[in-house]
């Protein structure tokens, strides 16, 4: 398991692995928003939490179609399936590696980009906290979507269509927590619900993903 | 313990391909599957390896003993030869990769990226992976594709050594490896449903 985790990290960091793509996408989306909305700092302050959350979510989606497809194409997934590792564990570990290479950089970059959107000072802490709590769920749900679409030629678009609706609860509670904090309100309730969604996803999704992957490998 | 396949029926995409396949494979034995393209060798091997469920019958004694090698080697182009082998060794809970490296003559490429190897060298690396799994039943699908004569000899020696250590090998292959192996022609097990279709076509 640990070997698989570190292999995925190494593959992501080496040439062609796509590390940083999600982060660069996030950066560009957030930079484009003031251009499209116009230089109205009050409006930007108002929409900043939502834009940051939506940008992070789309950036996370960007690299998901390679999560299992690469291993499927070169035959490694068949070989992993005949190894002592359970498929559920394989999917969970790959989701964890995806989070470290995609979700974690987004969490760390979000406060910097918050400045660009004139995010209210009280919102930064909760924004980072909500992204840290929410992005693991995005990676794990994405891994489930990747397991569903593995083996389908050009499955990336289908993956987005399947996964985005499942992202809704995380997006609602995450953006709501950041918005409330930015307005100086108490954000404990949406944060707790966000953490609950993430825990439920982390508990259930590996098994669902393992199941569909087993069917897809036939 | 023996690998026993009893009255196995296998299918591809829900269509039965082979039916009534039975054979046993004990320690030190090799079995070569023969048959024309599309006769179901790969499907049979995938079923034995546990990648797809049998349509009928059973495979006994295969749990956690199979090392499977398919057409694709599962190599990562961005990792070096040593990293690729080391990864598979640790997935299977082993640590020793030196014997596999020696057996397949890979010493000179250890630090080279797998993406820079030739097709034959990749194949050798893919086969060396079998030795680092520590599994005793090798299930091989066309193992000698893109290997030259010298590499085929290396592979034959590796299989021979594996059998001598009490391992077993089940392979689909068209060439004679010079290993003492029973052969099983899978075309005799063609599923009745398919055979009937074929008869219809011939009749029409």
Confidence of residue A20 (pLDDT cuts 50, 70, 90): confident
CB-CB under 8 Å, A11 with B79: yes
Distance, in angstroms, between B33 CA and closest chain A CA? 20
Whether B50 contacts B5, CB under 8 Å: no
Q: What is the pLDDT along chain B (204 residues), one digit of tens a residue?
A: 688 888 889 988 888 888 888 888 888 888 888 888 888 888 999 999 888 888 888 888 878 888 999 888 888 888 899 999 999 999 988 888 888 888 888 888 888 998 888 888 999 999 999 999 888 899 999 888 888 888 888 998 999 999 998 889 998 887 777 777 788 888 888 876 655 555 454 444
Distance, in angstroms, between A215 CA and closest chain B CA? 8
CB-CB under 8 Å, A83 with B74: no
Using CB atoms, pick whichever of A17, A74, A85 lies closest to residue B91.
A85
Using CB atoms, pick whichever of A4, A15, A79 lies closest to residue B74.
A79
Whether A132 contacts A107, CB under 8 Å: yes
Task: Report percent pLDDT > 90 for chain A.
Answer: 68
Confidence of residue A16 (pLDDT cuts 50, 70, 90): low
CB-CB under 8 Å, A71 with B79: no
Q: Which residues of A touch B90 (CB under 8 A)?
A: 2-3
A60-106 tens-digit pLDDT:
998 888 888 888 888 899 999 988 899 999 999 999 999 999 999 99
Q: What is the pLDDT of residue A21?
A: 87
CB neighbour list of residue A2: distance below 8 Å, 6 or more residues apart = B90
Distance, in angstroms, between B18 CA and closest chain A CA? 16
Q: How far apart are CA B120 and CA B123, in angstroms?
A: 5
A164 part of contact set with chain B, CB < 8 Å: no
SS3 B34: strand
CB-CB under 8 Å, B50 with A75: no
Higher pLDDT, B35 or A132: A132
Confidence of residue A169 (pLDDT cuts 50, 70, 90): very high
Whether B172 contacts B42, CB under 8 Å: yes
B55 part of contact set with chain A, CB < 8 Å: no
SS3 A103: helix
B87 part of contact set with chain A, CB < 8 Å: yes
CB-CB under 8 Å, A10 with B79: yes
SS3 A19: coil
Of B72, B85, B88, which is closest to residue B111 (Cα–Cα)? B85
Higher pLDDT, A154 or A166: A166
A-B contacts at Cβ under 8 angstroms:
74
CB-CB under 8 Å, B72 with A10: no
CB neighbour list of residue B107: distance below 8 Å, 6 or more residues apart = B101
Confidence of residue A6 (pLDDT cuts 50, 70, 90): confident
Q: Which residues of B touch A80 (CB under 8 A)?
A: 74, 91
Distance, in angstroms, between A211 CA and closest chain B CA? 13
CB-CB under 8 Å, B93 with A4: no
Distance, in angstroms, between A132 CA and closest chain B CA? 30
B66 part of contact set with chain A, CB < 8 Å: yes
Closest chain B CA to residue A79: B68
A14 part of contact set with chain B, CB < 8 Å: yes
Closest chain B CA to residue A1: B91
Q: What is the pLDDT of residue A49?
A: 93
Q: How far apart are CA B37 and CA B26, in angstroms?
A: 27
CB-CB under 8 Å, A84 with B72: no
Interface predicted TM-score (ipTM): 0.85
Query: Across the beta sheet with B66-69, what order do the strands follow?
Result: B66-69, B137-141, B168-172, B30-34, B182-185
Q: What is the pLDDT of residue A29?
A: 93
Closest chain A CA to residue B89: A3
Burial class (CB in 10 A: 0-12, 13-18, 19+), A42: exposed
Closest chain A CA to residue B64: A84
Residue among B10, B14, B50, B51 with most chain A CBs within 10 A, to mutate:
B51
CA-angle at A22, arms to A17 and A25, nearest 5° = 130
CB neighbour list of residue B194: distance below 8 Å, 6 or more residues apart = B15, B16, B17
Q: What is the pLDDT of residue A101?
A: 92
Listed range (A113-127, A181-195, B7-21) with the worst mean pLDDT: B7-21
- Residue B171 pairs in a beta bridge with B32, B140
Q: What is the pLDDT of residue B204?
A: 46
């Amino acid at each position: 398991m640990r070997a698989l985790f570190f292999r995925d990290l190494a593959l992501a960091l080496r040439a062609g692995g796509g590390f940083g793509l999600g982060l660069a996408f996030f950066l560009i989306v957030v930079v484009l928003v003031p251009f499209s909305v116009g230089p109205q700092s009050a409006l930007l302050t108002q929409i900043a939490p939502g834009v940051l959350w939506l940008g992070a979510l789309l950036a996370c989606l960007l690299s998901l179609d390679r999560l299992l497809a690469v291993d499927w194409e070169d035959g490694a997934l068949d070989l992993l399936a005949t190894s002592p590792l359970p498929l559920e564990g394989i999917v969970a570990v790959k989701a964890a590696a995806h989070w470290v290479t995609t979700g974690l950089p987004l969490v760390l970059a979000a406060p910097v980009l918050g400045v660009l959107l004139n995010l209210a000072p009280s919102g930064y802490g909760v924004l980072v906290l909500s992204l840290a709590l929410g992005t693991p769920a995005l990676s794990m749900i994405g891994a489930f979507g990747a397991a569903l679409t593995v083996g389908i030629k050009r499955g990336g678009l289908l993956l987005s269509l399947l996964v985005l609706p499942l992202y809704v609860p995380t997006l609602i509670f995450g953006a709501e927590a950041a918005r409330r904090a930015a307005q100086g309100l108490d954000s404990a309730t949406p944060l707790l619900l966000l953490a609950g969604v993430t825990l439920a996803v982390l508990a259930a999704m590996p098994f669902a993903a393992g199941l569909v992957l087993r069917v897809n490998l036939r | 313990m023996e690998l026993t396949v009893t009255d196995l029926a296998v299918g591809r995409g829900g269509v039965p391909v082979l039916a009534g396949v039975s054979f046993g494979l004990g320690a030190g034995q090799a079995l070569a599957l023969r048959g024309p393209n599309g006769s179901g060798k790969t499907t049979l091997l995938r079923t034995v390896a546990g990648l797809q469920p049998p349509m009928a019958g059973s495979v006994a004694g295969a749990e956690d003993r199979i090392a499977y090698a398919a057409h694709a080697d599962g190599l990562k182009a961005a990792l070096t030869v040593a990293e690729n082998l080391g990864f598979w060794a640790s997935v299977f809970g082993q640590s020793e990769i030196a014997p596999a490296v020696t057996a397949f003559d890979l010493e000179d490429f250890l630090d080279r990226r797998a993406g820079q190897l030739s097709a034959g060298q990749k194949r050798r690396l893919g086969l060396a992976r079998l030795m680092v799994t520590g599994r005793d039943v090798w299930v091989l699908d066309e193992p000698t594709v893109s290997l030259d004569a010298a590499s085929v000899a290396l592979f034959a020696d590796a299989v021979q050594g594996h059998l001598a250590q009490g391992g077993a090998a089940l392979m689909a292959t068209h060439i004679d490896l010079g290993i003492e192996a029973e052969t099983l022609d899978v075309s005799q097990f063609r599923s009745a449903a398919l055979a009937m279709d074929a008869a219809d076509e011939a009749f029409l």
